[in-house]
Structure 1
Amino acid sequence: MEDLLNTEIWNGRTAGDLLTLEFLLGIAGSVVSALLILIIGLLLAGWANRRITGLSRRYARLDDTLFNFLGSIVKYAIVGFTALFILNTFGVRTTSVVAVIGAAGLAIGLALQGTLSNIAAGVMIIFFRPIKHGDFVVVNGQMGTVKDITLNFTELADLSNVQIIIPNSEVWGNTITNYSVYPTRRAEWTFGVTYDSDLKLAETIILDTIMADERSHTEPEPFIQVTNLGDFSVDFLVRVWCDSAVYFAYKADMTRKVKEALDAGGVGIPFPTQTLQIEREKPGSQSMPAAG
């Protein structure tokens, strides 16, 4: 009888140990599966992101900003599905998780209306592309080169290479001036000459100097006319087309070259002057007495 009791106790312990071992093996298997799914998911997300963003670098006609955005969406979508698969591995009912996430997303959306408006504006900017990476723009009163467009903000670098961050809602909801969309621009100057200058000579010097530069376009035809008779000068308005990429340097160079050419041609460039007339008292005259 005692031997039989000892045998039953031993067998009971063996069954309990087997159950514990089976449970631990099940947990270990789930952990290993989850790690494999995580590694594969992260590798797949990174690969998909690189492939999509690489398309814009391979083909010059494709926009970098749009494909960077699409790559990010695909990456995070794969990461999200990977997380659901991992939860399913541990026996978590993913339908309940999705419902909880949806309810939490609604609450978070109400609390973050400003952020969501930036995201919505970012999506509109990326898909409609009023601006893109590398454009020189004026946005919300800020001038600079577009360095990056994310879902939340747009990054500019101003003329001093200072970073400017603008929320996307302020980009999409304001007037955008984009100087990089069209390949050519029209440069405009106003040159003044003195009233006693030979106007025909001045016009010839100004136009010949500007058109001698290889950056000046002959089509459309350049424009030069006297448009104003000022207090001190006769003003010529000059308009010539050039490539957008050289606009600022071209306009500054021509301003200096025209001034030097007018000096060399003997054409005077006016500057504001004032004439002071002093009346002296005649000898023997007496000044009026001051009123008491």
Structure 2
Amino acid sequence: MQDFFQQVPAFMPSIQALAFNLVVTIAILVIGWTVSTVIGRGLRKLADRSPRIDPTIVPMVYTVTVWAIRVFVIIAVLARLGVQTASIIAVLGAAGLAIGLALQGTLQNIAAGIMLLALRPIRAGEYVSVKGQGDGTVAEVGLFLTKLIQFDGIHLTLPNSLVWNNPIINYSRNATRRLDIDVSVRYGDDLELAMRELRELIEHHADVLADPAPQVMVTEYRDSAAAVNMRVWVDNAKYWDLRFDLYRQAQSRLAAAGLQLPLPVREVRAHSGEPVQGV
């Protein structure tokens, strides 16, 4: 035991070097992790303040930036501990190839996310419909997933590959949008009067755009009524308000003009069923 204590001073330089190296390693890890988070948040705040940066790309840029810094930090930590990083990088490359082959679907989502951000068929804040998958307002296009908020407040999360590989209908991209409203006018009523009343309604409505000019036309003859179509153009933000208002006013406008609501009519014919007398 006395010999052990006598040899301790000889090991002190090595112990001190190891302790110092460990403290420096922990400091690099903590500082690097903190710096990655700060830089990521700074980029997000900068993007939120700039009107020139599309909000759609912010989540993906944040994720890529943060983890790129953290990967370099981990490599620096391993190098500080004396680990041969060249061999680790080679092993990680081989492992990445194997994982990539096993997770082809995940890589497809990443590639699809990059294409969505590069070509921008959808952007944050736009109302879109992904054919066969769902519709809603785009909340985020991430590295793996696209998040939509449906009109009833339900969050819909779709893998990027499903969004990219299906037809996308974007209802918000254009500043204006066409609105078609069908009104039924029963047979026997004055069709020309009905069309004049509906034309006056849309021509004097504050939300209907004058260019392109609004139209009123007969589009179909149904079983008990003629279908009269009101075709107007409206600012995208006012589309639903105008739609609901025209449906409310059209019927009351026709009723005030003396036109009645068309009802289904069925003609029933009866015969006596008596046998025909032969000659």
TM superposition score normalised by structure 2: 0.91
1:102 equivalenced with 2:103 (yes/no): no
For residue 31 of structure 1, the aligned residue among 16, 19, 22 is 22
For residue 222 of structure 1, the aligned residue among 209, 214, 220 is 214
For residue 21 of structure 1, the aligned residue among 12, 28, 32 is 12
Once residues 277 and 177 of structure 1 are traced to their aligned partners in structure 2, the CA distance between those partners, rounded to angstroms, is: 49
1:122 equivalenced with 2:113 (yes/no): yes
Paired residues of 1:55 and 1:62 also in contact (CA < 8 A): no
Structure 2 equivalent of residue 5 of structure 1:
none
For residue 56 of structure 1, the aligned residue among 32, 47, 52 is 47
1:235 equivalenced with 2:231 (yes/no): no
Bigger mean CA offset, 194-203 vs 175-184: 194-203
Once residues 244 and 19 of structure 1 are traced to their aligned partners in structure 2, the CA distance between those partners, rounded to angstroms, is: 81
Q: How far is 1:184 from its partner? A: 0.9
Paired residues of 1:262 and 1:268 also in contact (CA < 8 A): yes
Structure 1 equivalent of residue 183 of structure 2:
191
Once residues 269 and 152 of structure 2 are traced to their aligned partners in structure 1, the CA distance between those partners, rounded to angstroms, is: 48
1:113 equivalenced with 2:100 (yes/no): no
Structure 2 equivalent of residue 83 of structure 1:
74
Paired residues of 2:128 and 2:137 also in contact (CA < 8 A): yes
Q: How far is 1:137 from its partner? A: 0.9
Q: Which runs of 5+ in 1 are unaligned?
A: 1-8, 282-286
Once residues 236 and 10 of structure 2 are traced to their aligned partners in structure 1, the CA distance between those partners, rounded to angstroms, is: 77
1:153 equivalenced with 2:145 (yes/no): yes
Structure 2 equivalent of residue 264 of structure 1:
256
Equivalent pairs, count:
274
TM superposition score normalised by structure 1: 0.87
1:211 equivalenced with 2:215 (yes/no): no
- The AA in structure 1 aligned to 2:220 is N
Root-mean-square deviation (CA, aligned residues, Å) is 2.1
Cα deviation code 1:190-241 (max 9, x no counterpart):
2121222223321121122233332111111111112223332222222101
Paired residues of 2:217 and 2:228 also in contact (CA < 8 A): yes
Once residues 58 and 151 of structure 2 are traced to their aligned partners in structure 1, the CA distance between those partners, rounded to angstroms, is: 27
Paired residues of 1:136 and 1:143 also in contact (CA < 8 A): yes
Question: Runs of 4 or more off by more than 3 Å in structure 1?
Answer: 277-281
Paired residues of 2:59 and 2:141 also in contact (CA < 8 A): no
Cα deviation code 1:150-179 (max 9, x no counterpart):
111212222222222211111111100011
Paired residues of 1:122 and 1:152 also in contact (CA < 8 A): yes
Paired residues of 1:140 and 1:170 also in contact (CA < 8 A): no
Paired residues of 1:154 and 1:167 also in contact (CA < 8 A): yes
Once residues 22 and 205 of structure 2 are traced to their aligned partners in structure 1, the CA distance between those partners, rounded to angstroms, is: 72
Once residues 233 and 65 of structure 1 are traced to their aligned partners in structure 2, the CA distance between those partners, rounded to angstroms, is: 48
Paired residues of 1:66 and 1:127 also in contact (CA < 8 A): no
Identical pairs, percent:
34
Q: Which runs of 5+ in 2 are unaligned?
A: none
